[in-house]
Amino acid sequence: MSAPQSIAFIGTGVMGRSMAGHLQKAGHALHVHNRTREKASALLEAGATWHDSAGSAAAAAEVVITILGFPVDVESSYLGAGGIVERARPGALLIDMTTSSPVLARRIAAAAAERGLAALDAPVSGGDVGAREARLVIMVGGDAAAFARAKPLFDSMGKNIALLGGPGAGQHCKMANQIAVAVGMVAWCEALAYARKAGLDPSAVHASISGGAAGSWAMTNLAPRALGDNFAPGFYVKHILKDMRIALESAAELKLELPGLAGAKKLYDQVAARGWEDCGTQALYRLYTSL
């Protein structure tokens, strides 16, 4: 456990509020900002200080952590006028835990370095359950010294924590993760849709196959939600779509074709077109049952 620090935590949504809560319980002083103040209410009641902007929160802290929705949010929060890079304290550590663009991560790291700041890209995997239980996978890109400084904080939020390389490496690792996630979602949805169409009880089939070679984290955790008509978000459809777009753009830059991911995106585009983009990613199964 690290010595208590002042931490600006920006983004207290489904994932962020649990992550910030773990840091708060570890004794760190939190300065929080979120587009919707109510989503930070539990943290504020526990003693966190509210700020009306990301830049204001950053100016009050030794460490800045963000977990936001989209790359455009990350870019404006870090690089916009009055933003985090401009207002952060000298020597501050900046940690973006949003799943975002590797190119943007490198831009932020360069802008931070020009001001004498350290920056890490540290996207996470594990969903709402992993965030609540402090079992997140944390994939980090950046300088080894900055990683060592951040590691005690990461230990409060996750279990599988690794430095993958320089700036942008964490985001590239997360893209690899999201490619596997997106294509894997199609696998269990199609398996259970097939079982249903064949006249079998999908729940019974799930119980039979989820512990074997067909098993996965999503099969174990998300398929039961879908089978129970629970489409509440642990991870939003709109966010997996964002991640797939980034992954496909990154793959194109690398001159790599990903037909499985391209197919998964087309299916999730249909999910979003039906108005389900604010549902959890397990809403993909709903598409199969409505066809």
Listed residue (260, 259, 284, 249) closest to 270, CA to CA = 284
Q: Are 43 and 12 in contact (CB under 8 A)?
A: yes
Q: Does residue 88 sit in the same domain as residue 30? A: yes
Of 124, 145, 166, the domain-final residue: 166
Whether the predicted pLDDT of 291 surpasses 80: no
pLDDT, position 91: 96
Question: Does a structural domain hold residue 277?
Answer: yes
Q: Are 139 and 114 in contact (CB under 8 A)?
A: no
pLDDT, position 62: 98
Whether the predicted pLDDT of 2 surpasses 70: no
C-alpha distances in Å from residue 32, one per residue of 48, 60, 66: 7, 10, 10
Map residue 279 onto helix, strand or coil.
Answer: coil
Percentage of the chain beyond pLDDT 70 is: 99
Whether the predicted pLDDT of 127 surpasses 90: no
Catalytic site residue from 39, 151, 174, 266? 174
Q: Does residue 119 sit in the same domain as residue 182? A: no
Total count of domains within the chain: 2
Question: Does a structural domain hold residue 270?
Answer: yes
pLDDT, position 271: 98
Q: Does residue 151 sit in the same domain as residue 16? A: yes
pLDDT, position 14: 85
In this predicted model, what pLDDT tens digit does every residue of 214-245 receive, in sequence order?
999 999 999 999 999 999 998 899 999 999 99
- DSSP string for residues in 2-60: PPP-EEEEE--STTHHHHHHHHHHTTPEEEEE-SSGGGGHHHHHTTPEE-SSHHHHHHT
Q: Does residue 10 sit in the same domain as residue 114? A: yes
Of 166, 189, 215, the domain-final residue: 166
Query: What token pair was written down for 285?
Result: 């199964």
Question: Does a structural domain hold residue 237?
Answer: yes
Of 166, 200, 227, the domain-final residue: 166
Whether the predicted pLDDT of 1 surpasses 60: no
Question: Is the torsion defined by CA of 25, 42, 86, 111 positive or negative?
Answer: positive
In this predicted model, what pLDDT tens digit does every residue of 135-193 receive, in sequence order?
999 999 999 999 999 999 999 999 999 999 999 999 999 999 999 999 999 999 999 99
- Domain CATH for 205: 1.10.1040.10
Q: Does residue 113 sit in the same domain as residue 191? A: no
- Domain CATH for 85: 3.40.50.720
The CA distance from 129 to 18, in Å, is 9
DSSP state of 124: E
CB atoms within 10 A of CB 1: 10
Question: Does a structural domain hold residue 1?
Answer: no
Q: Are 175 and 244 in contact (CB under 8 A)?
A: no
Q: Does residue 136 sit in the same domain as residue 225? A: no
Q: Does residue 35 sit in the same domain as residue 150? A: yes
pLDDT, position 128: 86
pLDDT, position 269: 98
Q: Does residue 31 sit in the same domain as residue 145? A: yes
Q: Does residue 81 sit in the same domain as residue 148? A: yes
Q: Does residue 31 sit in the same domain as residue 52? A: yes
- For the question of residue 265 being annotated catalytic, the response is no
pLDDT, position 3: 85
In this predicted model, what pLDDT tens digit does every residue of 53-75 receive, in sequence order?
999 999 999 999 999 989 999 99
Q: How confident is the model at residue 259 (pLDDT cuts 50, 70, 90)?
A: very high
Q: Does residue 11 sit in the same domain as residue 123? A: yes
pLDDT, position 183: 98
Q: Which domain holds residue 105?
A: 6-166
Q: Does residue 162 sit in the same domain as residue 176? A: no
